[in-house]
Amino acid sequence: MSSKPRLLLAFLLAVLLASLLASIFQTQTNLAALQALGAPMPLDVRVGTTCLDLLGFAPTFALLSALGFLLALPLAAWLARRMPPLRWLIFVLAGAAAIWTALGLANALAPMPTLIAADRSPFGTLGLMACGSVGALLFGLLGRRVRYRAQPTSSDSL
Give the model confidence (pLDDT) of 94-137 as tens digits: 999 999 999 988 888 877 766 777 788 889 999 999 999 999 99
* pLDDT for the residue 121: 87
CB atoms within 10 A of CB 103: 24
Q: What is the pLDDT of residue 2?
A: 65
At residue 156, the pLDDT reads 46
Q: What's the pTM?
A: 0.85
pLDDT, position 149 = 46
Q: How far apart are CA 133 and CA 90, in angstroms?
A: 10
The predicted structure's pLDDT at residue 107:
84
Where do the domains of the chain lie?
1-146
Percent of the chain with pLDDT strictly greater than 90: 71
* Diameter over CA atoms, the chain: 68
**pLDDT at 111 (0 to 100):** 72
Query: Does the structure show a pLDDT above 70 at 147?
Result: no
Q: What pLDDT, on the 0 to 100 scale, is given for residue 96?
A: 98
Looking at this protein, which amino acid is placed at residue 68? G
% of the chain beyond a pLDDT of 70: 89
Q: What is the mean pLDDT of the chain?
A: 88
